Amino acid sequence: MEAAVAAMIFGDRSYFYDVGFFGLQDTLWDGQGRHYFKSCTIQGAMDFIFGTGQSLYEDCTISAIGANLGPGIIGFITAQGRTNPNDANGDHITFAEYGNSGPGSDTSKRVSWLKKLDSSTVSKLATTSFIDTEGSDNNKLKLQYNPNKEGK
């Protein structure tokens, strides 16, 4: 498989809303800087999100389509790029859920390592303060987090 980068992002404080990134390998090169993705679709097969950027993906659909490459291929979202667990860059993904309801919300058959978040943790994670380190209201991105909705 040959890499075909769909997007390369090296700017700081970049914002993407309702954008689709489609490819197989190396789809989204989150090169460096702080980035915010809202309601985006990112699709690929092998290591398709990579780079040293620090990004928040809110309400995004991320799909691994490795099975389309052939039998027995499952695909991978990202390859771990850190050499030190305290590095501020590299890839780190947490699989978690909050306020899950409706069809498919039965967690009895989920993997044991899935994290269930409480509203206090979600409030800390749902911030763009990493993008706006100066605290300037003019540069802040506002997240629409409502702790009373409990993820519904």
Report, as residue numbers or ranges, the catalytic residues. 26, 47
The closest alpha carbon to 128, from 57, 29, 49, belongs to 57
Asked whether 15 and 141 are in contact (CB, 8 A), the reply is yes
User: In whole angstroms, what is the distance from residue 52 CA to residue 30 CA?
Assistant: 6
The closest alpha carbon to 51, from 29, 79, 23, 76, belongs to 29
119 sits in which H/E element: helix 119-125
